[in-house]
Amino acid sequence: MAVHTELGPGFLESVYQEALAVELELRNIPYQREVELSIRYKGRPLKGKFRVDFICFGDVMVELKAQKAMGGPEESQLINYLKAGNKERGLLLNFGAPSLQQRRFVNG
């Protein structure tokens, strides 16, 4: 919420991603940024890759958006990331709306 309060809506997603990285560091929250996720089919890796914005505390995927509203496609994206990354918890944040939009997800 601190990032949205400081910057407000209107910036590109990359701006919010960089600002959130600063905020996570200031709060001593461990994270990885732009984590590549492999997709497997019947035990074989596929060429296609996903890239999640953040993984915090080693197991919470965080995906950022900068849109006027969130909907099904954005939610499906995070659900697919959770499956590909074999993670249970995810957070979808949208900085593009007048108020910060957030949705929590649990896989399984």
- What pLDDT band is residue 93 in, cutting at 50, 70 and 90? very high
Summarize pLDDT for 14-39 with one digit per residue, the tens.
999 999 999 999 999 999 999 999 88
User: Which residue carries 């910060």 as its tokens?
Assistant: 100
Q: Give the mean pLDDT of 55-75.
A: 93
Give Cβ neighbours of residue 97 (< 8 Å, ≥ 6 apart): 9, 67, 68, 69
- Give the pLDDT mean for 11-16: 96
User: What CATH number does domain 2-106 carry, 3.40.50.1970, 3.90.1010.10, 1.20.58.340, 3.90.320.10?
Assistant: 3.90.320.10
The answer to whether the beta carbons of residues 62 and 54 sit under 8 Å apart is yes
Would you kindly state where each structural domain of the chain is located, as residue ranges? Answer: 2-106
Q: Where are the alpha helices (DSSP H) in 44-86?
A: 72-85
- pLDDT bin (cut points 50, 70, 90) of residue 62 is very high
Q: How far apart are CA 41 and CA 83, in angstroms?
A: 12
DSSP helix/strand/coil, 51 = strand
